[in-house]
Amino acid sequence: MHRDFLNIADFSSDETFALLDLAERMRTGAYQAKPLTGKALAMIFMKSSTRTRMSFEVGANQLGGTAHFLSPRDVQIGRGEPIADTARVLSRYVQGIMIRTFAHQDVVELAEYASVPIINGLTDLSHPCQILADVLTMQQHLGGVRGKTVAWIGDGNNMANSWMEAAAHLGFTLRLACPEGYDPDAQFLADAKARGGDVQLLRDPREAVAGADVVTTDVWASMGQEEEQSKRAVAFALYQVDAELMARAAAHAVFLHCLPAHRGEEVTAEVIDGPQSVVWDEAENRLHVQKAIMAVLMGGERL
């Protein structure tokens, strides 16, 4: 029976920490196995991406396998083929499918009908691979995640949703500062709190970052929301991460951003290019985390 990775909680807390340990071994070069030898990953991109495509392609190759890029022009989903049929067909060719798309339900349906592991490369609802990379970056620079405080500044988007899930799952405090009308998903928030997560929804970014170990943000208008840019620029005007805001965090605090970033909007150049920024390590860690996920789901690596 295969496993999927659609959201953070698809692995138990213990499994998640074991997965992060495996990713750390891959990051440091201690892991040299090739569990994907002779295996192939199909990558469906309904949304374009630099980091997701390169990290999965390079990662599959480093593990001995191959990765095959499918754009909206290369799959029949956009031309009316049911997702279920695509799932059944691709399952005859490959040993895993990664999909980066808009509607989360499409990923759920793909997983329902595929007979191989499905990996969520991003949906409008969640971005679990990125959050695991962020957590690996926290471990790398802060020595761990348990008991730490993460401040999320800005839109209650897919990143905010997966941060909430991770906070409850991995034992750190999350403070979200979002403008009114841009709160994260209510079900993710309720689920995180029901599982004992220390998740706080605030309006004031200064309150959120006070003494925090991590300050993180994302673009004000995500892919597909470009027509809302001017409206969002007004709503998020007080939610820019600048040097003054970073100064309110702990002295050792690090800055994270999933990229791409818009300097002068959600973050100033002074912060993202400054000494507290670890965004390039964070981007690299997508590779290591996703290799660990593929090794476990497709390559039989045990946690």
302: annotated active-site residue: no
Candidate list 130, 139, 140, 276, residue with the active-site label: 130
Q: Which of 27, 53, 104, 127 is catalytic?
A: 127
Q: For 50-82, write each residue's pLDDT tens digit.
A: 999 999 999 999 999 999 999 988 888 767 789
pLDDT at 13: 98
Mutual angle of helices 128-142 and 13-28, in 10-degree steps = 70
Q: What is the pLDDT of residue 60?
A: 98
Helix or strand holding residue 98 (H, E): strand 96-100
End-to-end CA distance of the chain: 16
User: Is 195 marked within a binding site?
Assistant: no
> Which stretch of 134-148, 190-204, 209-223, 271-285 has the lowest confidence by average pLDDT?
209-223
pLDDT score for 195: 96
Q: Which H/E stretch holds residue 296?
A: helix 279-297
Element (H, E) at 121: strand 118-122
pLDDT at 272: 98
Architecture in CATH for domain 130-282 = 3-Layer(aba) Sandwich (3.40)
47 and 281 Cβ atoms separated by less than 8 Å: no
Query: Residues 225-253: what's their mean pLDDT?
Result: 92
Boundaries of CATH 3.40.50.1370 in the chain? 8-127+286-298, 130-282
Establish whether the linkage from the previous residue to 179 is cis, with ω within 30° of 0: no
Q: Which runs of consecutive H residues, i.e. helices, occur in 76-144?
A: 83-91, 104-113, 128-142
222 is in an annotated binding site: yes
Task: Tell me if residue 178 is catalytic.
Answer: no
The active-site residue, picked from 258, 276, 288, 290, is 258
Q: What is the mean pLDDT of the chain?
A: 96
Q: Which pair of structure tokens corresponds to residue 17?
A: 């920490």
- Is 268 annotated to bind a ligand? Reply is no
Question: What pLDDT is attached to residue 235?
Answer: 93
Return the pLDDT at 87. 96
Q: Does residue 88 have an active-site annotation?
A: no
218 is in an annotated binding site: yes
7 marked as part of a ligand binding site? no
The annotation status of 52 as a binding-site residue, yes or no, is: yes
- CATH architecture label of 8-127+286-298: 3-Layer(aba) Sandwich (3.40)
Torsion over CA of 238, 241, 242 and 247, rounded to 10 degrees? 110
Per-residue pLDDT at 78: 65
Q: Does 178 belong to an annotated binding site?
A: no
pLDDT of 1 strictly over 90: no
288 catalytic? Reply is: no
CB neighbourhood size of 240 (10 A)? 19
Residue 4 a catalytic site member? no
pTM: 0.96
Q: pLDDT tens for residues 127-160?
A: 999 999 999 999 999 999 999 999 999 999 999 9
Q: Does the active-site annotation cover 203?
A: no
Say which of 27, 53, 100, 175 is annotated catalytic: 100
The catalytic residue among 53, 232, 286, 288 is 286
- d(C-alpha 2, C-alpha 234), whole Å: 46
Could you tell me the two tokens for 2? 């295969």
What span, in angstroms and rounded, lies between the C-alpha atoms of 137 and 24?
Answer: 10
Is 158 known as a binding-site position?
yes
Go through 226-239 and write b for each residue having 16 or more CB atoms within 10 A of its CB, e for each that does not. Answer: eeeeeebeebbeeb
Report the range of poorest mean pLDDT among 73-77, 91-95, 186-190.
73-77
What is the DSSP code (8-state) at residue 228?
G
